[in-house]
Structure 1
Amino acid sequence: MNMDWNHPDVYQYEKKIPLKIPCYEMLYDMMDRLLTVRLSEDAANVMVVGAGGGQELVTLAKRHPNWSYTGVDPSASMLGLARKRLELAGIQPQADLIEGEVHQLECGFQYDAATCMLVLHFVRHKLEFLQQIASRLADGAPFFIAAIQGNMTSEAFKWQMCAWKEHMLAGGISEQEWESFSASIGSRSHPVPASEVEDLLGKAGFTNVTRFFSAYVIDGWFAVKGGGKQ
């Protein structure tokens, strides 16, 4: 969950991440069902920010073969994993996978929707990042985001982390791997409280910000770009 994303160990990501994140598959299933309410089955252009690993692409493309996808991720290794997962699943979506950052995507094209799952806590300049996503969405487009959140100095955060540790160890994650992950929070990842995430989404131009998922210190939200279709 926290590593050098170009290291060969990223190929263990697909196996390890469901052991770490409670209700991992349910998070993406809920994202898909909520997204489906907003988009036409006939055609939609979806931007997937942090597409490496492939979970969003596999979930969405399997259920919505008529949609087209633009996946962006700075890690070539993680994008390779996404391609491999799509191939093994027998899915051949209309997908353009781009190695790079959101700000490198074409500005003129406006997507019908976007996802950014389990990425925001790795980003230091969160408002600028969210603004870059918003600028590439059509007015009224839905946006789905999930991230580690919380006040790292609070007792509540520490309590949640202790419970999360027990969850991971019970799922087969080693004590050493947990310690490495725990130590990375605040150094290689940068969570902020949920209230701050919601405030940043508003400042970036999103409305109707609504939490739809919560598991220990991971929350998921959906929102709408601008003041269009509600």
Structure 2
Amino acid sequence: MDPFSDPQAVARYADGPPRMVPGFAGLQRMATILLAERAPDEARVLVLGAGGGLELKAFAEAQPHWSFDGVDPSAEMLGLAQRTLGDLSARTRLHRGLIDVAPEGPFDAASCILTLHFIESGERLRTLREIRRRLKPGAPFVAAHFSIPKDDGGLDLWLSRYAAFAVASGIEPAQARNARAGLAQRLPILAPEEDEALLRQAGFGGVSLFYAGFAFRGWVAYA
């Protein structure tokens, strides 16, 4: 079963990223700061991969006048986002599906955190172009996901480090090993230079790395 449709896995989701993504809370704070640099006080923000609601909640708590459109293909994860947001959901509209169900905007800012690594490179480029098309000129976009150098042994080494970090954060070793094996088999992970090239091909400028945590990278770019 898809873990994002498994009720038990969804119920445990919020515990995962803080223990498996190095500096996860700091990543969210940095993303908020980078978006706020150019977004107005009453910004309308597009959040792709909004299931679970973790970044929606972080953004909404830090910026009380922002409003959000959150997009995710999993109904179960959108339900979790609704529960995570609580009263903050009054400023959020949730949409089930991929980028095509997102409103046309134009948006003042956008984010896609821990999501693009699920998408094949060709579809990833289309997704980035659709995000870019929905943004106002100069609007900031923040993306963070698995991005691993492809030199000899790079993927295996960095995924091993990812698993070791998870174990050091309290994840059961067997669970961390299974997660590592599944990632290597399922995810179309790109190298950092490939990720940056896709952002530029999609029409973004000012592409800049702002976060690196073992197997993860994060960029800010501008429409």
TM-score relative to the length of structure 1: 0.90
Structure 1 letter corresponding to 2:146: I
Residue in structure 1 matched with residue 91 of structure 2 by the alignment: 94
State the alpha-carbon separation in 2 of the partners of residues 102 and 49 from structure 1: 7
How far the C-alpha of 1:207 sits from its partner, in A, is 0.2
Aligned 8 A contact 1:75 1:99 in 2: yes
Q: Hey, what's the Cα distance between the residues in 1 that align with 2:80 and 2:107?
A: 24
- In the alignment, the residues of structure 2 paired with residue 17 and residue 132 of structure 1 have an alpha-carbon distance, to the nearest angstrom, of 26
Provide Cα deviations, 1:9-62, integer angstroms capped at 9, x if missing partner: 111010122111111100001111121111221x11100000001111101111
SS at match of 1:185: helix
Once structures 1 and 2 are overlaid, which stretch shifts more, 203-212 or 173-182? 173-182
Which residue is equivalent to 2:100?
Answer: 103
Gaps of 5+ in 1: 226-230
Letter of the 2:189 counterpart: P
Aligned residue for 2:186, secondary structure, equals coil
Q: Which moved more, 1:147-156 or 1:133-142?
A: 147-156
**Cα separation, 1, equivalents of 2:136 and 2:90:** 22
Query: Which residue pairs with 2:161 in the alignment?
Result: 163
* Greater helix share, structure number: 2
Output the CA distance in 2 between the equivalents of 1:148 and 1:154.
Answer: 17
Structure 2 unaligned blocks of 5 or more = none
| CA distance 1:186–1:161, shift in 2 (3 Å) | closer
Name the % identity. Answer: 33
Please point out which of 146, 149, 160 is paired with 2:144: 146
Q: How many Å separate the matches in 1 of 2:21 and 2:190? A: 18
Q: Contact conserved, 2:148 with 2:158, CA < 8 A, in 1?
A: no
Quote the Cα distance in structure 2 between the aligned partners of 1:64 and 1:123: 29
C-alpha displacement at 1:160, in angstroms?
Answer: 2.5
The number of aligned residues is 220
Q: List 4+ stretches of structure 1 deviating above 4 A.
A: none
Q: Could you tell me whether the CA contact under 8 Å between 1:61 and 1:93 is conserved in 2?
A: no
| Local SS of the residue matching 1:212 | strand
CA–CA separation in structure 2 for the residues paired with 1:191 and 1:130 = 16
Deviations 1:170-221 (A, max 9, x none): 2111122112211222432111000000000000000000000000010000
TM-score, normalised by the number of residues in structure 2: 0.93
Aligned equivalents of 1:152, 1:173: Cα separation in 2: 27
Q: How does 1:215-230 map to 2 (within 5 A)?
A: 215-225=213-223
Q: Does structure 2 retain, via aligned residues, the 8 Å contact 1:52–1:75?
A: yes
